[in-house]
Amino acid sequence: MTLRGQRLTKGHGTGNDFLLFTDPDAEIAVNAQEVAALCSRHHGVGADGVIRVARTAALAAGESVAARLATDHPEAEWFMDYRNADGSLAEMCGNGVRVFVRYLIAEGLVTLGDGEILAIGTRAGVKWVKRDGEEFAVAMGLWSAPGGEEALRLGADAAVEVDGIEGARPGLSIAMPNPHVVLAVASEEEVAAANLLRTPRVQPVPTDGTNVEIVHPMGETETPDGLVGVLRMRVHERGSGETQSCGTGACAAAIAARVWMGEGAPERWIVHVPGGTVRVRIWPDAQVELAGPAELVADVTLR
């Protein structure tokens, strides 16, 4: 089977937009060229990525992670088969997984009441998504620093050049588990000045490519949950270019900011992105939670 005649649903999480379609038995052949054509803003439908909604068990034959999950986590019935706008595969998408669950509910593929939790299969393993009214909170798993203790001590392990920002800036690599390099700038104006039409240049060159987050720490604010750190962020995504938001990127940005602040840094963070706001919580044991909205916008049928 091909994507021809297929109904696609357009959805987004804080402006990070996706095309989703249901292929329960993983019968549709999806190739990178087709995905890139669909995601094209001018020649296609337009999106930052494409998400196939397939049963984990059905993907087991072709995806080693799905095969493992089908055995170890049978509760993860549905698998988020995520592709970037250029057709490349990615391990995880933090905004995408919330939209994925919103879609499963809307399509009647699952029922999920307020406060209930659903297991979702992803290339980064099983992720637990909790419904919180009209929003969703995702247990993203553990963060890690590919540069190890030394990078965490220095707060950097890379040099990043971004058009519009002067000089090469120190960046900190964070795996969520997809790759991110986060750099701090001094003002919101500097965040705005970044020209992300051109891919940022990272040294040493990351073997599998990377997402790059430009972050301005805006201080802390008192909330009913206690003191919360606030960040302004823009992102250049591997495989998609600049997007309005990146969930794993917001997690990486909050983690980097926490590392840079050191002792006394807050656990909770508000991350403002061009498409809205997401919330991140970093637990002392390195588990990360991401929360935010997820919307479905329209259905289109492909010719």
Ligand X SMILES: N[C@@H](CCC[C@H](N)C(=O)O)C(=O)O
Instruction: List binders of ligand X among 196-225 (CB under 6 A).
Output: 211
Termini Cα distance of the chain: 14
Report the nearest approach of ligand X to the CB of residue 176 (Å). Answer: 8
Beta bridge partners of 141: 288
For ligand X, which residue of 11, 87, 94, 275 counts as binding (CB under 6 A)? 94
Q: Is 31 annotated as a binding residue?
A: no
For ligand X, which residue of 65, 70, 90, 126 counts as binding (CB under 6 A)? 90
Number of DSSP helices (H) and strands (E) in the chain, helices first: 7, 18
Report the nearest approach of ligand X to the CB of residue 240 (Å). Answer: 5
Name the residue among 280, 199, 275, 269 with its Cα closest to residue 243.
275
Binding mask 227-256 for ligand X (x = CB under 6 A): ----------xxxx--x--xxxx-------
Residues in contact with ligand X, counted by CB under 6 A, come to a total of 18
Name the residue among 254, 280, 275 with its Cα closest to residue 137.
280
Q: Which is the catalytic residue, given 126, 246, 251, 270?
A: 246
Report the nearest approach of ligand X to the CB of residue 43 (Å). Answer: 21
In angstroms, rounded to a whole number, what is the distance separating the alpha carbons of residues 252 and 272? 13
Q: Is 237 annotated as a binding residue?
A: yes
Q: Which is the catalytic residue, given 93, 183, 184, 214?
A: 93
**Catalytic annotation present for 39:** no
Which tokens belong to 131? 């419904």
Which tokens belong to 59? 């993907």
Report the nearest approach of ligand X to the CB of residue 84 (Å). Answer: 5
Report the nearest approach of ligand X to the CB of residue 180 (Å). Answer: 8
Provide the phi-psi class of 183: left if phi over 0, else alpha when psi is between -120 and 50, else beta: beta
Which tokens belong to 162? 């971004």
For ligand X, which residue of 95, 122, 173, 244 counts as binding (CB under 6 A)? 95
In angstroms, rounded to a whole number, what is the distance separating the alpha carbons of residues 245 and 83? 16
Q: Is 195 annotated as a binding residue?
A: no
Q: Is 84 annotated as a binding residue?
A: yes
Instruction: List binders of ligand X among 138-177 (CB under 6 A).
Output: none
Per CB under 6 A, the segment of 65-73, 86-94, 215-223, 259-267 that binds ligand X is 86-94
**Catalytic annotation present for 246:** yes
Report the nearest approach of ligand X to the CB of residue 251 (Å). Answer: 8
Binding mask 17-56 for ligand X (x = CB under 6 A): ----------------------------------------
Q: Is 238 annotated as a binding residue?
A: yes
Provide the phi-psi class of 214: left if phi over 0, else alpha when psi is between -120 and 50, else beta: beta
Sequence-distant contacts of 195-201: CB under 8 A, at least 24 apart: 195/162, 195/163, 195/164, 196/162, 196/163, 196/234, 196/235, 196/236, 196/241, 196/242, 197/163, 197/241, 197/242, 198/163, 199/236, 199/241, 200/160, 200/161, 200/162, 200/163, 200/236, 201/160, 201/161
Biggest CA–CA distance in the chain, Å, is: 56
Give Cβ neighbours of residue 189 (< 8 Å, ≥ 6 apart): none
Give the residue numbers annotated as catalytic, written as ranges.
93, 246
- Tell me the binding residues for substrate: 16, 84, 94-95, 178, 211, 237-238, 247-248
> What residues line the site for ligand X (CB under 6 A)?
16, 84, 90, 93-96, 178, 211, 237-240, 243, 246-249
Annotated binding site: 16, 84, 94-95, 178, 211, 237-238, 247-248
